[in-house]
Amino acid sequence: MNSCVPPVAESLLQPSAVLAPPARTMRRRVLAVGVIGPGRVGSALLEQLRASQPRLRRDLGLVLDLRGVVASRQMWLDSDDPELNARHARAQTWRPNDLDEFAAHLRGEDGRHALLVDCSASDEVADRYADWLNAGIHVATPNKLAGSGPLKRWQAIRMACAGGNAWFRCEATVCAGLPVVQTLRDFVDTGDELLDVEGMFSGTLAWLCNRHDGSQPFSALLREAHALGYTEPDPRSDLSGMDVARKLVILAREAGLPLSLEDVAVESLVPPALAALSLEDFMRRMDELDAPMAAKLAEARAGGGVLRHVGRLGRDGRASVRLAVLPREHAFAHTRLTDNVVQFRTRRYRDNPMLVQGPGAGPEVTAAGVFADVLRIAESLGAQA
């Protein structure tokens, strides 16, 4: 704090004093919120919601009224309670999970605005989005299954939103809190034309490629990444490239291309012989990855390039996930640690593409991406008494 600033001037420098409209002109908006999946991301979101409530009420006139939390087996229904986040896990009032009852409780019968935040990785939950949206309940989620699952289900979700009664937002499904989905939507909505989108969509594979310089075997790096918690519990989930393929499908659909997971050409880094093993056996035989990865690195170096794990979607709908050899001066050759980077080429950004870069995973940044979606939905709501 600058000690030269007198107390009154200092208070004027607070964001609330500078930005908040006078109380009498502020619209009061109330949004009933239900959180599905109080796991890593869900718990971080509950914490962020709790911490932000006073500022949102004061500065935006927005009340996020937490009405309940549901986990895989149990749910807790309650009216807004600032203590909920601290005690939902040991509350006495848990009841068996019933998603229909949960949604009905949230929606109520008084015409309130209601929003479900799905922080699970459950197909069973994604199956219900269209019904909830049709009933006027907004949905925000980091769950990739709706955006990359069966096309028919995705189309039902879009149709349900078409009436304009409810919003579906899924920014955090691609690169967590980075503005990737919204950026793409803005290109489309403002009449730009997507030429291609390319990126390093896996923080784990970005880290492995950044560190794979031949000084130690690939399997040693993979073990280190596993120990640091950078990989999924089964590292083959990362190496298979399927998570990146899901992100490409989500982006393709946002761009209006009816892509499915089967349409993505995915080059897995797991040889068939290792793919079928138990996790324990895979962890023991990981060094079988060393020779093929060393050969790929040697090939990249022979051509004066670097190895990077790249997902690409073209405007013709062709999508691929593979280890690519890129020139040393390429933007993807200079990312940090587990950073994701996404490059959009559009008609307007043809010669000088737009880049979005930064941490693309982790509960806090993912929850923040979901929270931003919640706020965008809240912004669109009418005032209430």
User: Can you give the length of the chain in residues?
Assistant: 385
Beta carbon nearer to ligand NAP, 141 or 346? 141
Interface pattern 366-385 for ligand NAP (x via CB under 6 A): x-------------------
Q: Which tokens belong to 250?
A: 């989500």
Regarding 36 and contact with ligand NAP (CB under 6 A), the answer is yes
- Let me know: does 357 contact 200? Beta carbons within 8 Å: no
| Minimum CB–partner distance for residue 43 and ligand NAP (Å) | 8
Q: Three-state DSSP class for 353?
A: coil
Looking at the Cβ atoms of 143 and 346, the one nearer to ligand NAP is 143
Rounded Cα distance, 286 and 108, in Å: 53
Closest CA to 208 of 140, 290, 279, 118: 290
> Is 85 among the residues that bind ligand NAP (CB under 6 A)?
no
Tell me if residue 144 is catalytic.
no
231 near ligand NAP (CB under 6 A): no
Whether residue 206 contacts residue 336, with contact meaning beta carbons closer than 8 Å, is answered with no
Please give the Cα distance from 102 to 75 (Å, whole number). 8
Q: What is the DSSP letter of 21?
A: P
Helices within the chain (DSSP H only) = 7-12, 15-19, 40-55, 84-87, 99-107, 123-126, 129-134, 145-148, 151-162, 181-189, 203-211, 218-227, 236-239, 242-254, 272-275, 279-284, 290-302, 363-379
Q: Which is nearer to ligand NAP, 324 or 361 (CB)?
A: 361
Instruction: Identify the residue among 52, 72, 134, 268 touching ligand NAP (CB under 6 A).
Output: 72
The answer to whether the beta carbons of residues 263 and 270 sit under 8 Å apart is no
Specify the stretch interacting with ligand NAP by CB under 6 A; choose among 118-126, 146-154, 207-215, 231-239: 118-126
Q: Is 209 in the site for ligand NAP (CB under 6 A)?
A: no
Q: How many residues bind ligand NAP (CB under 6 A)?
A: 27
- Number of Cβ within 10 Å of residue 269's Cβ equals 22
> Looking at beta carbons only, is 61 or 68 nearer to ligand NAP?
68
- Contact status: 203 vs ligand NAP (CB under 6 A): no
Comparison of 39 and 214: residue with beta carbon closer to ligand NAP: 39
By CB atoms closer than 10 A (0-12, 13-18, 19+), residue 319 is buried
Nearest CA-CA partner of 141 in 163, 124, 120, 118: 118
Q: Which two tokens stand for residue 367?
A: 């929850």
Q: How far is the CB of 178 from ligand NAP (least distance, A)?
A: 10
Nearest to ligand NAP of 173, 346 (CB atom): 173
Taking CB atoms, the residue at the shortest distance from ligand NAP is 39
> Which residue in 12, 54, 87, 124 binds ligand NAP (CB under 6 A)?
124
The reply to whether 48 sits near ligand NAP by the rule CB under 6 A is no
List the structure tokens of 139: 């949905």
- Identified binder of ligand NAP from the candidate list 30, 35, 49, 70, rule CB under 6 A: 70
Q: How far is the CB of 10 from ligand NAP (least distance, A)?
A: 38
8 A C-beta contact, residue 359 and residue 198: no
Instruction: Rank residues 123 and 281 by Cβ distance to ligand NAP and give the closer one.
Output: 123
Q: Binding of ligand NAP at residue 121 (CB under 6 A)?
A: yes
State yes or no: residue 202 binds ligand NAP (CB under 6 A): no
Q: Could you list the residues that contact ligand NAP (CB under 6 A)?
A: 36-42, 70-73, 97, 119-122, 124-125, 142-144, 172, 176, 361-363, 366
* Catalytic site positions: 247
